[in-house]
Structure 1
Amino acid sequence: MMRGLPVTFILFVFLLLSVIQNSESETRKSGDYIIYMGAASSDKSTGNDHHVEVLSTMLKRSGKTPMHRYKHGFSGFATHLSEDEARLMAEQPGVVSVFPDQMLPLHTTRSWDFLVQESYQRETYFTEMNSQPELDVAVGDTIIGFIDSGIWPESESFNDMHMRPVPDRWKGICMRGKKTEPDAFRCNRKLIGARYYNSSFLLDPDYETPRDFLGHGTHVASIAAGRIISDASYYGLAGGIMRGGSPTSRIAMYRACSLLGCRGSSILAAFDDAIADGVDIISISMGLFIDNLLEDPLSIGSFHAVERGITVVCSAGNLGPSSQSVVNAAPWMITVGASTIDRGFESNILLGGIENIRLIKGAGINIANIDRTQSYPIIHARSAKKIGANEEAARNCAGNTMNITIVEGKIVVCDNDYGNQAIQWKSEEVKRLGGIGVVVVDDKTMDLSYIDPSFLVTIVKPVDGLKIISYIKSTREPIAMFMPTRSRTGHELAPSIPSFSSRGPYFLTRSILKPDIAAPGVNILASWLIGDLNAAPQGKEPPLVNIESGTSMSCPHVSGIAARLKSENPSWSPAAIRSAIMTTAVQMTNTGSHITTETGDKATPYDFGSGQVTIFGPSSPGLVYETNQIDYLNFLCYVGFTSVQIRKISNHIPQGFACPEKSNNRDISNINYPSISVSSFNGEERRRVIRTVTNVASRLIGDEDTVYNVSIDAPKGLRVRVIPTSLHFKKIGDALSYQVIFSSSTSTLKEDAFGSITWSNGICRVRSPFVVTSKADI
């Protein structure tokens, strides 16, 4: 078995066995580890597979059974090791990295109709020619793989009626599970594959199945690829047609998550299988703040998937609005932030009696049985403060700060100085004390999905909060009444960027702009588990659909669009698909104003990347930025990896490749990305960036031979020059390069500068945002 292996490797194996035997007493310092060994062996060489086989066999003999073995898209395994064993394993020449098997958190309708309307903002010949009152769903057999919490196969969103047979290229399986009644889980022509992964950390027999017990995987899969459901609503709210972005795409579910989160080793196993199974798109709505790409399961798995032509779409994270909070930001991923849609949930309140009624507009999802004739006393939380309690905490309705005898039977007005996640805590505290309902004063909260809809909660703006408090103070016996919630579309200013959506710049380097794009992620209606009592509001039957928020919901919107593009353009690379999505984004709201953040400030590329995704624009981008394998390899060089390390990571390396001499992370600006980010800009030197665009225009609209002219939107204090100013493409497939030269009249930029470069031929507009900053990477 060891024939042909290096002597050093054989010595290492025996040394490892010795360490394993001597470390049995160190169980307190042991844990699950991932041993990443780079690229899977090609047909020409199987040496790495031999290394993996020997290591895993020796571990088995010592009672260290590998939990997962990776062999399709990349090499390695996951197993239980002591700290000493892990350190020794990392020294093995064939090993790229060894890191703890961490738990990654999940990042957790009308949204598609809204995107159709947003697409009409692109004032191009293509959009006008293809204007449609309804979303075109006649797209083909792309396969979207979801790495998530599983799926509920009986949901109507995954009905396979009138679908064609499963594509011959599909190589995956449908795991039924080991639980009782394994035949209860079935795949079909829509849900064509399902797998599940457990680890030593989770041995619950209830999870020996691909079935979803959280709802997250079912929700995101239906957003991206759910079938059309004609009459969907959440207890009568948000009613209408519900559908996924690519309703005829096939679904493959890889359940890597449980109630505790998503294990890194299981995520890598899912990537490995998805690559072998033949998916076209991988959609993954989870992530972790990791400062080493070679210790991040998503960065590793997605790198090898993209190498094989699979587009990987990831959520940007829910750590906003803090700067540098974006995750899943490697350049081979599509990183998606969240935005709002134009549907609102009105939950108004009436102040005063019949003779003096004042209407206060609010937002909320209240499905409790409301007596429209019943008013209740209303108080400000400060007046219910317990003796000795902190006044600020009391007016924010914090736990154990209010007097039960004062709160009981009343509507309580709470301030919200602690962020939107605290709203649920406020409502729970008031409910515990016997209150009737809560009015929260807040102007930033957009996410209503986490608030218990069976308890009356309304969110009002500060200006209206002052009116309520003024009324309470000026009235001897103030009373109020909750009005039933109603959903309204077309009346909300949208899109805007919610506070939870993670922001750029990328913490690893400021020389690449992330997130890439924004998509709907606030109060999104989609399918749910059937019979889920935990999701049922008090006194209601379990819902068939649910309303959720997060970049988890934004990600599958882009996955659905990517699937449509792949169906329309089977030869397009993941980079071409990403470029088409980014360069056709919009930056304006449905009223023509610039997109803002939750505070009302103008959104920047750190908030939404290239802007809000559109549906029709990406189908005719005109030009695309092909970020190729050399760009990704150079990126690894620029962030500090050596040529030796990179040769282990990839077996798609051109002959003679070596990291550029004297390179650094500033050189990342020159990888052929659809956006531009320049860091460490001192203003005294000119910075030159090169980009190459490829003509992908359609012969159908006659722009095969075409000239694009450039326009520049640059902020004051920054000079931006593009050479040349025109690009003449003579045929489809032509690739032409241009330079962008940044300079400044001042020695340093006082703040980050944002702008854009747009190429247009009168039919297509190809827009690239840029960021220039004087800040350097840490």
Structure 2
Amino acid sequence: MRRAHEQPHGSRWTARARAGVQGSVGPGSALNRSQPRWRRRGAFVAATRASGRRKKGKAEMDGGRRPSSPELDKTTMVKGEHTGLASGTREDEPMARIAPGEVKGGGLRRRRLAACKRGKTGGAARAWGVELRGEGTEHGQSRGARLGQGGGDSGGDNGAGQGKRRKGERKGALPMPFWEKGGGRERELWLRVLEACGMGASGLGDDSGDDCKKASGVRRLHGVGVAGLTRRRLGGSAGTGGDRATTYVIVFDGLPASPSGLLATVVTSPIQVIVVQIDESFVGVIKQLPGVLAVIPDVLHKVHTTRSWDFLELERNGAATGAWKDAAKYGVDAIIGNVDTGVWPESASFKDDGYSVPSRWRGKCITGNDTTFKCNNKLIGAGFFNLGFLASGLLQGKPPSQAAELYTPRDYIGHGTHTLSTAGGGFVPDASVFGHGKGTAKGGSPLARVAAYKACYAEGCSSSDILAAMVTAVEDGVNVLSLSVGGPADDYLSDPIAIGAFYAVQKGVIVVCSASNSGPQPGSVTNVAPWILTVGASTMDRDFPAYVTFGGVTSSMTIKGQSLSNSTLPQGQRYAMINAKNANAANVPSENSTLCFPGSLDSDKVRGKIVVCTRGVNARVEKGLVVKQAGGVGMVLCNYAGNGEDVIADPHLIAAAHVSYSQCINLFNYLGSTDNPVGYITASDARLGVKPAPVMAAFSSRGPNPITPQILKPDITAPGVSVIAAYSEAVSPTELSFDDRRVPYNIMSGTSMSCPHVSGIVGLIKTKYPDWTPAMIKSAIMTTAITGDNDSGKIRDETGAAATPFAYGSGHVRSVQALDPGLVYDTTSADYADFLCALRPTQNPLPLPVFGDDGKPRACSQGAQYGRPEDLNYPSIAVPCLSGSATVRRRVKNVGAAPCRYAVSVTEALAGVKVTVYPPELSFESYGEEREFTVRLEVQDAAAAANYVFGSIEWSEESESDPDRKHRVRSPIVAKTTCG
């Protein structure tokens, strides 16, 4: 997640960031929080389960009648706010609100429903937005269109024929309301939603009747599971936010495919989604519907935004290693799905020469209104998910061109193309950014097939759209799912990404997520569910240095920065320099000019000079543009103390260099010591073999895990700084609207970039070991990671100090070693369910698609023994509240040659804590055999371990028959003696 206060590129992001700083009325703002609850605009996801039963007829389900009131079931409801919105959402206009008592069945309700029933029959669909563009309709896509993959009138499956009109339906007419189309569980659940909101199926009637509006809490009813479903609502178009209704997303489990396409999706899918906008007073009624598990905010998330594969040892001097080419076959059998901003299909990274579509692939290429978008045998699937985003109302006042971007999988931001090509892009020689970093671009699994699931837009990504995309990807047949996106860490039972990932893991699909870009703040890591592989970001051994020389000819000093600018200054000439703090325009505070805000610089003070700006708030590239517009010839971008040594190469529009905090101290001292400072900025160029590397990026979010500190997060770190990959040619490399440059490849930084590196490696492992579970693959990556750098030291953070597992998890990923881990920690869905029950022993049932062998939902029994959260069979160990002593249990599985024997050692001691492992040796007689062991932590000096202390254990293989065979299986340990 790119931080709102510091975007590397883009007016669409930075303008909202500034608006957020100046004040907003969004749901998360102080202004909005001051409003009464009913005046706030929020969004909710309601997760439900169908208890795993077979489909039943109406009589069998409820005795042959539609219940007048829903049966009550214990559920949870979580109220939340939009996240990832820099400018917030518009406060809604007042509208009459029905008190809860009026809705639950009094005479007022009956009178209003009676008035509604007298309305026109056909008014229901028009009033309540049930216009289908699904199977069999004039505008529709073919049968099999997936969750939320909406299309416009010209949408289709890349050549698949459009559906025919139903019998008796005139061209352009709205289809029959769904509640008149027949029975089935889908209809029953929809009817129950309506009933719970104070209206019957026939009470939707009159378009213009105020009584209809008042009689029902329902303002909009959407089917996220519907391909091409459009919505119209009372008094306006969908998404305009013209009433006080709140958006809820209701997720149903285990529904069969709908013949009408209304609830839509795949027979085997246990997750279905609908969006319903209702008055907030009805939340309590909706959550009590049979099968409703939780009510979850439908929040907006943000995306988290070559040499790297050489640095990860898959190449040596540009040549592929045997492990990459022969053992893992370049990931040829992997299908990598990417939930992001879409894809630029014409990119050379997605050419399909020599490819074929795997027979197991069940997906589609849903192109929507984009007739030029084509999938192929490399890019085998695409779709877009926008109904949750549309329900947010954020399209209000936007130009039609931006609205059109929601109805195609094409990437108009660049982020999704970059991440997907990093994970699975093919070989493309001579790729570079303005000539910098020239080489062969490729993904971690360059022969993998890829699929793009667009759920993210300029303002962010709706939770419901992300969830719909994840479920669709799993049903399509991906075996790796990559998400460089996230919001604030949330309870696992209330986090749609965690819920979707849990479903994926049960289907054998590993989910890789970015850790977020909110570092180095402790506890800022997101996507922390234990069934997710969470990735932090660090540097690689390549940079793009640009040097700043300042001072007189005989007393000059040179400091090193980073840049990808294609603008250079004439050699041999020195330019006047000025601190931006002293270059403020009239009536502009120096605090603004220090940061080089738009309009903050005085042209008379800046013209012809190199301006020294400070990093923060607005985009780094935008600061250079501000200098250029004021007449400056160059920019030095200086870190503040919080950024430390973390510098990033950006494609600046002016000669520029991004310089670390320690280096800038010398520069600022010089500027303050003379009345006529002068200096020069060199052109940048790529340099390899940089030491030390890796170094943790300052923006990479840190642990401890804010939800369950017993699970160490992030899990791993990978290259995420100055990564070159494919890019969308619909947007400039800076994302600034007035930058007309277009590039096929771009350089980007963020945990968004590190996540797909690991996804690509996962594709290699999946190709070599197709039967491995997601937990086994995750373990292989974690236990073979390294905590050292290429300079014989420990991995450092942005300040130069030694980093901790809260920054890098188990360490820096090592691709080759992960393909041969020796031992792995396997974890089943039942283990995860026990983990959740250990957190909530009275939860009944679990609000996740967790089913037992009998097909019924898993429930937590109050008297059962589930152990402790820290006993989950995880490759790392965390004990956050260690008192006296504690023993944790683990089991490992042999995936190497047999027989074999492993001995354990404490490779890094914990200050104040004694670590004992029993037994000290493990022997395996066959492949796949499992052994258990315990790790005892005993406090010896409570004061020394009052704050978190770090250590590790390592199992080392001892082979008599093959002395060269030496697997090392390492697990980090974190502990502290205080609680909270």
Report the TM-score range of the alignment, normalised by the length of the smaller protein. Answer: 0.7 to 0.9
SS at match of 1:430: helix
Q: Of the candidates 276, 300, 306, which is equivalent to residue 109 of structure 1?
A: 306
Cα distance in 2 between the residues matched to 1:304 and 1:131: 31
Partner of 1:37: none
Q: Are 2:338 and 1:146 equivalent residues in the alignment?
A: yes
Cα distance, 1:53 vs. partner? Answer: 5.4
Partner of 1:36: none
Partner of 2:351: 159
Q: Are 2:869 and 1:668 equivalent residues in the alignment?
A: yes
Deviates more, 1:632-641 or 1:714-723: 632-641
**Taking every aligned residue pair, what percent have the same amino acid on both sides?**
36
Partner of 2:488: 289
Cα distance, 1:432 vs. partner? Answer: 4.1
Partner of 1:12: 69
Q: Contact between 2:876 and 2:971, CA under 8 Å: does it hold in 1? A: yes
The alignment's C-alpha RMSD in Å is 3.5
Q: Are 2:948 and 1:752 equivalent residues in the alignment?
A: yes
How many pairs were matched up? 739
Q: Of the candidates 486, 509, 517, which is equivalent to residue 716 of structure 2?
A: 517
SS at match of 1:736: strand
Distance 1:663 1:515, change over 3 A: farther
Partner of 1:708: 902
Distance 1:293 1:139, change over 3 A: closer
Q: Contact between 1:493 and 1:590, CA under 8 Å: does it hold in 2? A: yes
One-letter amino acid of the structure 1 residue matched with residue 357 of structure 2: V
Cα distance, 1:74 vs. partner? Answer: 1.9
Superposition pairs for residues 181-260 of structure 1, below 5 Å? 182=371, 184-199=372-387, 200-201=390-391, 204-260=403-459
Cα distance, 1:680 vs. partner? Answer: 1.4
Distance 1:604 1:421, change over 3 A: farther
Distance 1:67 1:746, change over 3 A: same
Distance 1:86 1:655, change over 3 A: closer
SS at match of 2:58: coil
TM-score by length of 2: 0.70
Cα distance, 1:635 vs. partner? Answer: 1.8
Partner of 2:779: 579
Cα distance, 1:148 vs. partner? Answer: 1.0
Cα distance, 1:491 vs. partner? Answer: 2.1
Distance 1:422 1:174, change over 3 A: closer
One-letter amino acid of the structure 2 residue matched with residue 745 of structure 1: Q
Cα distance, 1:275 vs. partner? Answer: 1.9
Q: Contact between 1:16 and 1:85, CA under 8 Å: does it hold in 2? A: no
Q: Are 2:222 and 1:66 equivalent residues in the alignment?
A: yes
Q: Contact between 1:118 and 1:590, CA under 8 Å: does it hold in 2? A: no
Q: Contact between 1:282 and 1:310, CA under 8 Å: does it hold in 2? A: yes
Cα distance, 1:541 vs. partner? Answer: 4.3
Q: Contact between 2:563 and 2:648, CA under 8 Å: does it hold in 1? A: yes
Deviates more, 1:90-99 or 1:311-320: 90-99
Distance 1:632 1:51, change over 3 A: farther
One-letter amino acid of the structure 2 residue matched with residue 283 of structure 1: S
SS at match of 1:525: strand
1:444-471 deviations in whole A, cap 9, x for unaligned?
Answer: 253535x551122213345543443454
Q: Of the candidates 800, 806, 809, which is equivalent to residue 609 of structure 1?
A: 809
Cα distance in 1 between the residues matched to 2:919 and 2:889: 11
Partner of 1:406: 605
SS at match of 2:61: coil
SS at match of 2:845: helix
Cα distance in 2 between the residues matched to 1:273 and 1:548: 28
Cα distance in 2 between the residues matched to 1:132 and 1:224: 14
Distance 1:108 1:573, change over 3 A: same
Cα distance in 1 between the residues matched to 2:551 and 2:342: 49
Cα distance in 1 between the residues matched to 2:790 and 2:803: 15
Partner of 1:43: none
Partner of 1:125: none
Superposition pairs for residues 627-638 of structure 1, below 5 Å? 627-638=827-838
One-letter amino acid of the structure 2 residue matched with residue 755 of structure 1: G
Q: Of the candidates 783, 791, 796, which is equivalent to residue 596 of structure 1?
A: 796
Cα distance, 1:6 vs. partner? Answer: 4.2
Q: Of the candidates 949, 952, 957, which is equivalent to residue 761 of structure 1?
A: 957
One-letter amino acid of the structure 1 residue matched with residue 334 of structure 2: T
Partner of 1:331: 530
One-letter amino acid of the structure 2 residue matched with residue 679 of structure 1: P
Cα distance in 2 between the residues matched to 1:153 and 1:232: 17
Q: Which runs of 5+ in 2 are unaligned?
A: 1-56, 72-102, 117-127, 130-146, 148-182, 205-217, 226-251, 256-268, 396-402, 959-965
Cα distance in 2 between the residues matched to 1:402 and 1:88: 56
1:603-657 deviations in whole A, cap 9, x for unaligned?
Answer: 1111110000111011110000011122210121123264522276312457997
Cα distance in 2 between the residues matched to 1:421 and 1:622: 47
Deviates more, 1:111-120 or 1:612-621: 111-120
Distance 1:421 1:755, change over 3 A: farther
Distance 1:385 1:78, change over 3 A: closer
One-letter amino acid of the structure 2 residue matched with residue 189 of structure 1: N
Partner of 1:124: none
Distance 1:399 1:261, change over 3 A: closer
Cα distance, 1:111 vs. partner? Answer: 1.1
Distance 1:461 1:367, change over 3 A: same
SS at match of 1:241: strand
Q: Contact between 1:105 and 1:286, CA under 8 Å: does it hold in 2? A: yes
Partner of 1:35: none
Partner of 1:2: 58
Cα distance in 2 between the residues matched to 1:75 and 1:17: 29
Superposition pairs for residues 225-374 of structure 1, below 5 Å? 225-352=424-551, 358-374=557-573
Q: Which runs of 5+ in 1 are unaligned?
A: 32-39, 41-45, 121-127, 698-702
Partner of 1:717: 912
Cα distance in 2 between the residues matched to 1:374 and 1:21: 85
Cα distance in 1 between the residues matched to 2:782 and 2:289: 41
Q: Are 2:99 and 1:99 equivalent residues in the alignment?
A: no
Distance 1:540 1:68, change over 3 A: closer
SS at match of 2:664: helix
Cα distance in 2 between the residues matched to 1:350 and 1:552: 34
Q: Contact between 2:412 and 2:730, CA under 8 Å: does it hold in 1? A: no
TM-score by length of 1: 0.87
Q: Contact between 1:114 and 1:341, CA under 8 Å: does it hold in 2? A: yes
Cα distance in 2 between the residues matched to 1:172 and 1:756: 43
SS at match of 1:319: coil
Q: Are 2:365 and 1:174 equivalent residues in the alignment?
A: yes
Deviates more, 1:80-89 or 1:15-24: 15-24
Cα distance in 2 between the residues matched to 1:499 and 1:664: 42
Q: Contact between 1:365 and 1:485, CA under 8 Å: does it hold in 2? A: yes
Cα distance in 2 between the residues matched to 1:408 and 1:134: 58
Distance 1:382 1:219, change over 3 A: closer
Cα distance in 2 between the residues matched to 1:446 and 1:716: 29
Superposition pairs for residues 555-566 of structure 1, below 5 Å? 555-566=755-766
One-letter amino acid of the structure 1 residue matched with residue 302 of structure 2: P
Superposition pairs for residues 445-464 of structure 1, below 5 Å? 446-448=646-648, 451=650, 453-464=652-663
SS at match of 1:205: helix
Cα distance, 1:290 vs. partner? Answer: 4.2
Distance 1:666 1:257, change over 3 A: same
1:56-107 deviations in whole A, cap 9, x for unaligned?
Answer: 6879864743331365142442222221233211111310112332211111
Cα distance in 2 between the residues matched to 1:536 and 1:507: 33
Distance 1:134 1:407, change over 3 A: farther
